Amino acid sequence: MIDKLNEPQREAVTLPAQHALVLAGAGSGKTRVLTTRMAWLIQTGQVSPLGILAVTFTNKAAREMVARVSSILPIDTRGLWIGTFHGLCNRMLRAHHRDAGLPQAFQILDTADQLAAIKRLLKANGIDDEKYPARDVQRFINGAKEDGLRPGDVEAHDSFRRRLIEIYTLYEKQCQREGVVDFPELLLRAYELLARNEPIRSHYQRRFRHVLVDEFQDTNTLQYKWLTLLAGGGASLFAVGDDDQSIYAFRGANVGNMADFERDYARGTVIRLEQNYRSFGHILDSANALISHNNGRLGKNLWTEQGEGEQIRVVEQPTDLLEAQWLVDEVRGLISDGRDRSQIAVLYRSNAQSRVIEHALFSSGIAYKVYGGLRFFERQEVKHALAYLRLMANADDDTSWMRIVNFPPRGIGARTLELLGDQARAYDTSLSSAVARVPGKGGSNLAQFATMIQRLAAETRELPLPEMVEHVIDQSGLIAHYQQDREGADRIENLKELVTAAAAFVSEANLDGLPAGVALQAPATGEFMGTEPGEGESSVASDALRVGFDGLSPLMAFLSHAALEAGDNQAQAGQDAVQLMTVHAAKGLEFDAVFITGIEEGLFPHENSILEQAGLEEERRLMYVAITRARERLYFSLAQSRMLHGQTRYAMRSRFLSEIPDEHLKWLTPKQGLSDSEPRWKSGGGSFDPYARNPKSSVVSAAPRSVTSGVTVGAQQFRVGQGVRHARFGEGTIIGLAGSGIDAQAQIQFREVGAKTLALGVAKLDII
């Protein structure tokens, strides 16, 4: 078992029972050491499998660890205490629910449930929610819990804070009465159970002789306290981590735990691993070069015996759609070269990027699985927004009604909904039809909601679909609601991405400019009659009809599209599938081939983090994590323009690209860039093809191959040499044109900002 390990790995695995810290870079075998140590301890009879507790960061990582242990040792894995902090604490609380003061069947509140509970509380106690907004209360309570503080432990400097503490007390009472537990409570409650209950503490302290923690750099203060308490009875605490991979500071992770642990426990037993077994040279050296731009590192260098391997392939595309299309072609090539789909990972910095990629994979029939988040159309906030749209299209959709009748919260309580349900049942109608039968305040709140849905439908009926969606996510209060949420930024991005999805749908189905709420006529009439006659859109409409939307409005067509795309993918889960995930979710994993997409300033590094040093360094660690996931082949891709948050954005290459020495990079598109000031596209029918197939790679160009002197997009006719004006870039001259229809692109020499390549279907250009 230990023969295959290198010297420092073997030393770590076979350390006698004592506290120890393994501090090592990516792919150096930390997780392998941790897993092998578990197996070794068991096999050499030093401890029974039940005497081990191991913590990982995600459920996926926990499953992998159980799999690794059972591949070494044929044991019943069900008794093993291997899991995430939340999972293990939950297990402990279920086992000792009485001592923890909980009903056995206690329910866990997610962040949104918790907020709803707080709002209800504020209301029930007549607390002014302008002075004490529920979000602030939630932040206060969770922050206190993560620091291990109960209401009595929080310092009250002033009357405002005293009131917050009172609310915290009331909230605890409410949760207790209802038998519910929020996320930070799981941890705090489990910690207190051990801290206060001597018999239980010594039971676990005696039982777990070895406590092992992976990804130690991302533990928070309470988790650290829980671990050291658990190991406090003479057990050994074995922690492995990499300060360069600390990527959860924004959630309270405290990388300082590593230094504290070394000082207070593992003094003298710090083992460093420097040989990397995962990646080939070019990949590893790129990661080393990149991370060397950070300050204050604990310091380590990684090397490999595996040889140089391939350079990182870099691709720049004019748009995110072309980036996704290129990616699909490349993935297809990898698969036909015989690679396992599950050994191909597509990583992105921000969840909102996944929709375009998912769509491209979906359309080309490549099985994929999204990790660390739901598929786009299954995400809570997207489903909420879709529920508004569904109700607008069909007031009798009771599922959608229940989903949003009180979301965002509008004071419609369970009692009122019960009454409404009774009435609907008694008169055999839908919920919305039963509203008038509910008396009193509850009834009038319900009526207000129903009126709001009708109002939204009326206001947006004549708008194009993307504008309808935009109006609805705004006017429904969803955006405002998530703006208040500590974790809401991603949700807002996704809501805005829904606008983009609607725009993409409309343009694919040729529904451009049609009123979203008005049904299209059957093609037999030969006339478009859904809107004011004489708008000259009849030809567009009959195109749409050919795609099969007869009798549906663009809205209805979009809603069925969303349902199908969400539902159909489901079947693919668990199959041999391409792995899609955020960089955060990829921590600890490895794949033969990795695509890191969207390597653009503002996206990666993310715009929210660019301005301060600490934020930028965390982004760089994220990029380091991303790069070091790859074993053999690594791709960087970026797009010059991208539809994100409902608008087209133009981005520069990420600074991270320039922090990696050229010798490691191999540009598949011109390194000088499509937007270089030297125009690379010949005007008027030249033969230069910036996407020429690279003979050594399986890249098949998705970008237009023909270069022409004139194209027509919509009503506009573009020619080389023409003067144009762009809202952001100002005036310029078209110096090259390529493609046709929605794929058409123009190379434009702008007076102020130099040459840019724009997708004509997306960019708004005036001809001057």
Binding site for Mg ion (CB under 5 A): 30-31, 588
The answer to whether 29 is annotated as binding is yes
Is residue 25 marked as binding?
A: yes
Question: Is 27 assigned a ligand-binding role in the annotation?
Answer: yes
Contact mark string toward ligand ATP, 419..458, x via CB under 6 A: ----------------------------------------
For residue 701, give the nearest of 323, 144, 368 by alpha carbon.
Answer: 323
Tell me the pairing of strands 180-182 and 665-667.
Answer: unpaired
Q: Choose between 61 and 541: whose C-beta lies nearer to Mg ion.
A: 61
Which residue among the candidates 182, 214, 242, 618 is catalytic per the annotation? Answer: 214
Q: Binding partner of residue 26 among Mg ion, ligand ATP, none, CB under 5 to 8 Å per kind?
A: ligand ATP
Whether 214 is a known active-site residue: answer yes
- Residue 629 annotated among the catalytic residues of the structure: yes
Out of 30, 119, 620, 756, name the contact with ligand ATP by CB under 6 A.
30
Among positions 694-713, residues that touch ligand ATP (CB under 6 A) are none
Q: Which stretch binds ligand ATP (CB under 6 A): 3-11, 261-269, 463-471, 639-647?
A: 3-11
User: Which of the residues 4 through 23 are near ligand ATP (CB under 6 A)?
Assistant: 4-6, 9
Question: Residue type at 554?
Answer: P
| Catalytic residue (one of 68, 189, 621, 629) | 629
Let me know: does 30 contact 192? Beta carbons within 8 Å: no
Could you count the other beta carbons within 10 Å of the beta carbon of residue 289?
15
Characterize the bridge pairing of strands 20-24 and 52-56.
unpaired
Helix (H), strand (E), coil (C) string for 104-157: CCCEEECHHHHHHHHHHHHHHCCCCCCCCCHHHHHHHHHHHHHCCCCHHHCCCC
- What the block records as the tokens of 689 is 């093809």
For residue 245, indicate whether it is catalytic. yes
Q: Which does 5 bind (CB under 5 to 8 A by kind): Mg ion, ligand ATP, none?
A: ligand ATP
User: Per the annotation, does 26 bind a ligand?
Assistant: yes
- Residues 184/187/192/194 CA torsion (nearest 10 deg): 180
> 24 a known binding residue?
yes
User: Do 56 and 82 meet the contact criterion of CB atoms below 8 Å apart?
Assistant: yes
Pairwise CA distance, residues 275 & 553, whole Å: 60
Tell me if residue 750 falls in helix, strand or coil. Answer: strand
Among 8, 29, 598, 739, binds ligand ATP (CB under 6 A): 29
CB-CB contact of 42 with 52 (8 Å) = yes
Residue with tokens 């795309």: 565
Is 242 one of the annotated active-site residues of the chain? no
In the bound complex, what is the minimum distance in angstroms from residue 451's beta carbon to Mg ion?
A: 55
End-to-end CA distance of the chain: 74
Residue owning tokens 């988040």: 373
Give me Rg for the CA atoms of the chain: 29
Residue 599 near residue 636, CB atoms below 8 Å: yes
> Which of 588, 598, 673, 704 is the binder for ligand ATP (CB under 6 A)?
588
Surface-to-core class of residue 159, CB atoms within 10 Å of its CB (0-12 exposed, 13-18 middle, 19+ buried): exposed
**How far is 746 from 765, CA to CA, in rounded Å?**
11
Q: Does 68 bind ligand ATP (CB under 6 A)?
A: no
Q: How many CB atoms lie within 10 A of CB 85?
A: 21
The whole-angstrom distance between residue 78's C-alpha and the CA centroid of its chain comes to: 30
Which span (25-33, 350-358, 419-427, 615-623) binds ligand ATP, by CB under 6 A?
A: 25-33
Q: Which two tokens stand for residue 720?
A: 């080389």
- Residue 122's Cα: distance from chain center in Å? 31
Should residue 119 be labelled a site residue for ligand ATP when binding is judged by CB under 6 A? no
91 token code pair: 């297990």
278 binds ligand ATP (CB under 6 A): yes
b vs e for 606-620, b when ≥16 Cβ sit within 10 Å of the residue's Cβ?
Answer: beebeeeeebbbbbb
Written as six digits, the tokens of 568 are: 């159909």
Among the candidate windows 26-34, 46-54, 321-329, 366-374, which touches ligand ATP by CB under 6 A? 26-34
245, 269, 460, 747: the active-site residue: 245
Smaller CB distance to ligand ATP: residue 9 or 640? 9
Instruction: Identify the residue whose tokens are 């009180």.
Output: 406
E-strand stretches of 251-371: 270-273, 312-319, 344-348, 368-370
Tell whether residue 32 is a contact of ligand ATP (CB under 6 A): yes
**Residue keyed to tokens 């996931």:** 629
In the structure, how many helices (H) and strands (E) does the chain have? Answer: 25, 24
27 touches ligand ATP (CB under 6 A): yes
Q: Choose the one of Mg ion, ligand ATP, none that binds residue 530, judging by a C-beta under 5 to 8 angstroms depending on kind.
A: none
Answer whether the bond into residue 695 is a cis peptide, omega within 30°. no
Closest distance to Mg ion from the beta carbon of 214 (Å): 6
Residue 26 near ligand ATP by CB under 6 A:
yes
Q: Which residue is nearest to Mg ion (CB)?
A: 31
31 catalytic? Reply is yes
* Residues 698 and 690 sit within 8 Å (Cβ to Cβ): no
User: What is the closest distance, in whole angstroms, from the C-beta atom of residue 276 to ligand ATP in the complex?
Assistant: 7
Touching ligand ATP, residues 484-523 (CB under 6 A): none
Residue of 146, 182, 215, 619 marked active site: 215
- Applying CB under 6 A, among 19, 28, 186, 302 the residue interacting with ligand ATP is 28
Question: Cβ distance 528 to 560 under 8 Å?
Answer: no
Q: Does 667 bind ligand ATP (CB under 6 A)?
A: no
Q: Are 186 and 90 in contact (CB under 8 A)?
A: yes
Question: Going by C-beta distance under 8 Å and a sequence separation of 6 or more, which residues neighbour residue 301?
Answer: 25, 274, 288
The least CB distance from residue 587 to ligand ATP, in Å, is 7
Cβ distance to Mg ion smaller for residue 30 or 491:
30
Hey, what are 19's tokens? 């506290």
Strands 312-319 and 745-750: unpaired
* Chain position carrying tokens 């070069």: 289
Residues 595-634 vs ligand ATP: string with x where CB under 6 A?
---------------------------------x------
Q: How far is the CB of 4 from ligand ATP (least distance, A)?
A: 5
Binding window for ligand ATP (CB under 6 A); candidates: 24-32, 179-187, 425-433, 591-599: 24-32
Size of interface with ligand ATP, in residues (CB under 6 A): 19
Q: Which residues are annotated as a binding site?
A: 24-31
Q: Which residues are annotated as a binding site for ATP?
A: 24-31
Which residues are the active-site residues?
30-31, 214-215, 245, 629
User: Which positions touch ligand ATP (CB under 6 A)?
Assistant: 4-6, 9, 24, 26-32, 242, 245, 277-278, 588, 590, 628
